[in-house]
Amino acid sequence: MSLNAQTIVIVGSLTHSLVNFRGPLLLQLQALGHRVHAWAGEPDPASVSWLQRHNIPYQPLPVQRGSLSPRRDLQLLSTLTRRLRQLRPESALFYTIKPVVFGSIAAKAAGVSQIHSLITGLGSALLSKQRWSDRVRLQAIHRLYRQGLRYNRCVFFQNPDDRDYFLDHGLLQSPTQSRTVRGSGVDLKRFKPAPVPVQPIRFLLVARMLYDKGVAEFVQAARLLRSRYPQAEFVLLGPTDPNPSAISDATISRWQQEGVVQYVGLQEDVRPHLAKASVLVLPSYREGTPRSVLEAMAMGRPIVTTQTPGCQETVQQGVNGYLVPVRSVRLLAEAMEQFLLNPSQIESMGQQSLLRAQRLYNVHDVNDDLLEGMGLLRPCS
């Protein structure tokens, strides 16, 4: 091992995301000669097994998603501080709200010299402002971000609008502290082009079952279209979630009983479902950069998504899909209907999606940007 090799820890909320979203980054760090550790909450056997097979030390964390609990959050902070003092890494990368906030504070306390964070989207907590409790929660999260991010050498954002939000609200100390990358990227060797089915035309939404993802708008648009195109299919794929914006199991069951959508739940491998889909639809209210869209693009699928930060960067209007306003069921249904009226454009727009994914979102190019910002791009030699 080179004398320049570093010990690096990557910390997130979900163990599944360590593999699904950060797997290529973990392997690239290993290939550069660094000692890589991965920590996250909610361990699942498949992800833990993958990390073990690749000799990446893993430790579970007590992350409670979806709510602020002083007792549980202090437990997370204490656990992170203790483990970082034991490991003594030279560098750390945190992503998702609680690892970013409490991980950054813990890393400073533990003497980690290079602290970095990746902001993968604003999340429901920063989007919900309707109730008094939402506004109180928002202010609390702002304070936590200001405290944690002050210790970061570099904060990465997945779109410029999120970066501007953090700067406008004083959550970052300086613009020079930030850097923008193109989402998490997509593994073009794993997500390969597949023939596009057009009989029947199938619309697929891949996301956590949250109202903020536009799931209800997708269902309402499907309801409108099924009355005119009974042969069309509409599929929901993704897990339920403890998030305050979560859609209840009872609501999803009611939609299925109505016959408006099929719900296939959480799937370890989304590729067979993307292969069966004609069009990927994501009417989200806001994203970092939606991974489901990038994966569908890499498999040659046209996209219908929203004119909102994170989503709008993935689509060139009328070329590889359509952009619609947030929460507009009518315009969403009209955009989806274009594929029912003109099935030939499914394949042509899907081809443009593939070219766009290859040009802009190759995971290795995205990871190179991250590693360059972290000062880790060169091999240890």
How far CA 222 is from CA of 137, 259, 324, in Å, comes to 34, 10, 15
Poorest-pLDDT segment among 18-27, 67-76, 265-274, 363-372: 67-76
Mean pLDDT over 32-49 rounds to 96
Same domain, 218 and 347: yes
Contact 349, 320 (CB under 8 A): yes
65 shares its domain with 173: yes
* Residue 8 burial (CB count, 10 A): 25
Amino acid, res. 316: Q
Same domain, 146 and 210: no
User: Do 135 and 160 fall into the same domain?
Assistant: yes
Instruction: Tell me what pLDDT residue 127 has.
Output: 62
- Are both 98 and 221 inside the same structural domain? no
**Whether residue 48 sits in one domain with residue 148:** yes
- Helix H, strand E, coil C: the string for 225-277 is HHCCCCCCEEEEECCCCCCCCECCHHHHHHHHHHCCCEECCCCCCCHHHHHHC
Q: In the prediction, which pLDDT does 319 show?
A: 98
Is 249 a member of any domain?
Answer: yes
302 and 208 within one domain = yes
* Structural domain boundaries, residue 281: 202-360
Same-domain check for residues 148 and 163: yes
Does 77 share its domain with 16? yes
16 in a domain, yes or no? yes
Does position 381 have pLDDT exceeding 60, yes or no?
no
* DSSP character at residue 34: -
Angle, CA of 216, 221 and 227, to the nearest 5°: 130
**Tens-digit pLDDT profile for residues 238-263:** 998 877 789 999 999 999 999 999 99
pLDDT for res 125: 63
* 216 and 343 co-located in one domain: yes
Is 65 or 232 the better-scoring residue by pLDDT? 232
Question: Mean pLDDT across the chain, nearest whole number?
Answer: 94
CA distance 25 to 371: 9
Which residues are paired to 9 by β-bridges? 37, 92
The stretch 109-132 carries a mean pLDDT of 83
- pLDDT value of residue 4: 78
What is the band of 300 on the pLDDT scale with cuts at 50, 70, 90?
A: very high
- Judge if 257 and 311 occupy the same domain: yes
pLDDT at site 183: 93
155 located within any domain = yes
Band the pLDDT of 222: cuts 50, 70, 90.
very high
181: CATH: 3.40.50.2000
Q: CB–CB of 158/182 below 8 Å?
A: yes
Would you say residue 254 lies in a domain? yes
Give domain status of residue 378, yes or no. no
* pLDDT given for residue 122 in this prediction: 85
Q: What is the dihedral of CA 172, 175, 176, 181, to 10 degrees?
A: 90
Q: Residue 24's pLDDT band (boundaries 50, 70, 90)? A: very high
Sheet with 58-60, strands from edge to edge, namely 58-60, 35-41, 7-14, 91-95, 114-119, 154-157, 178-180
Domain tally for the chain? 2
Pairing mode of beta strands 202-206, 178-180: unpaired
Average pLDDT rounded to a whole number, residues 103-107: 98
Stretch 38-67: mean pLDDT, rounded?
Answer: 93
DSSP H helical segments within the chain, as ranges?
Answer: 15-20, 23-31, 45-53, 70-87, 97-110, 123-127, 132-149, 160-168, 215-226, 249-258, 271-276, 291-298, 329-341, 344-360, 363-373
* Residue 130 domain flag: yes
Q: Is the model's pLDDT at 115 over the cut of 80?
A: yes
| Residue 380 domain-assigned (yes or no) | no
Is residue 216 a part of any domain in this protein? yes
The pLDDT confidence band at residue 2, using thresholds 50, 70 and 90, is very low
List residues bridging with 180 in a β-sheet.
157
132-184 pLDDT, tens digit each? 767 788 898 999 999 999 999 999 999 999 999 999 999 998 899 999 999 99
Mean pLDDT, residues 37-50 taken together: 96
Do 237 and 178 share a structural domain?
no
